[in-house]
Amino acid sequence: MLHRPRLIVAAGVLLAALACAAPASARIIEVGAVATEVTPTCPSSPCLAVSRTTGYQAKVVDSRAAYLVPRRGRIVAWTISLGNPDERQIEFFEDNYGEASAQLTILRRGKRLFHRVIAQTPIQELQPYFGQSVQFPLDRSIRVKKGQVVALTVPTWAPALTQLLDEGSSWRASRAKDTCDDTDRQTAQTRMRMRTQYRCLYRARLTYSATLITDPRPNKTEKADTTGRK
């Protein structure tokens, strides 16, 4: 019984040390996941869709960082929430743009809104998943760095767009300033190293996100003393 207080003190010191230890494990972050949920428009009227462009969410309400990579790591999957257009709406879009498809794109930011494609996922067919929020795991993960942009490339069309919003959200498209209303022209960035200016701003939300696994952070080590002092 005389040794019990010492054991309790020792256990308390151990628990305190464990509580102070900084975890070095990786984190899982959904880039683009925000508190305010949004719903694609289709099948309501008008049924709005993204067409023939690469876009990224420049602002979500009052945040400009929601679609920027927060830490170095790897993208292992991406998710897109799709509206459920009716037969008439599907026929209209397919007649004008082809079958619905999209891919995730990683952009390196440049000056004056000139951004360069540095990585992309394979293109995914979307129609089998209309009306769902579908996640596509990647066979090969994508290495990303802090500050890079997570974007959505739509070479045809995708029902992944909200109605116009007045709460501050906006997305940018890879279109020239004087062609923002020309949604039929092909401006999708589908090749590596492509660089273009994202001048067109639209007050709505693109409904996509990406799953990031961050690199683990090693413990800090003290520098070796080379002076010979003890």
pLDDT at residue 54 above 70? yes
- Place 23 in a pLDDT band, splitting at 50, 70 and 90: low
pLDDT of residue 26: 83
pLDDT at residue 47 above 50? yes
Contact 114, 197 (CB under 8 A): yes
Structure tokens at 107: 């952009």
Domain ranges of the chain: 26-214
Per-residue pLDDT of 188-207, as tens digits, reads: 999 999 999 999 999 999 99
Residue 159: phi, psi to the nearest 5?
-80, 65
d(CA 159, CA 48): 7
Q: Please tell me the least confidently modeled range out of 4-13, 18-27, 128-137.
A: 4-13
**Mean of all residue pLDDT scores within the chain:** 88
- Place 219 in a pLDDT band, splitting at 50, 70 and 90: confident
Per-residue pLDDT of 149-203, as tens digits, reads: 999 999 999 999 999 998 889 999 999 989 999 999 999 999 999 999 999 999 9
- Place 220 in a pLDDT band, splitting at 50, 70 and 90: confident
Q: Please tell me the least confidently modeled range out of 107-111, 129-133, 153-157, 163-167.
A: 163-167
Burial of 151 (0-12, 13-18, 19+ CB in 10 A): buried
What is the value of pTM for the model shown? Answer: 0.84
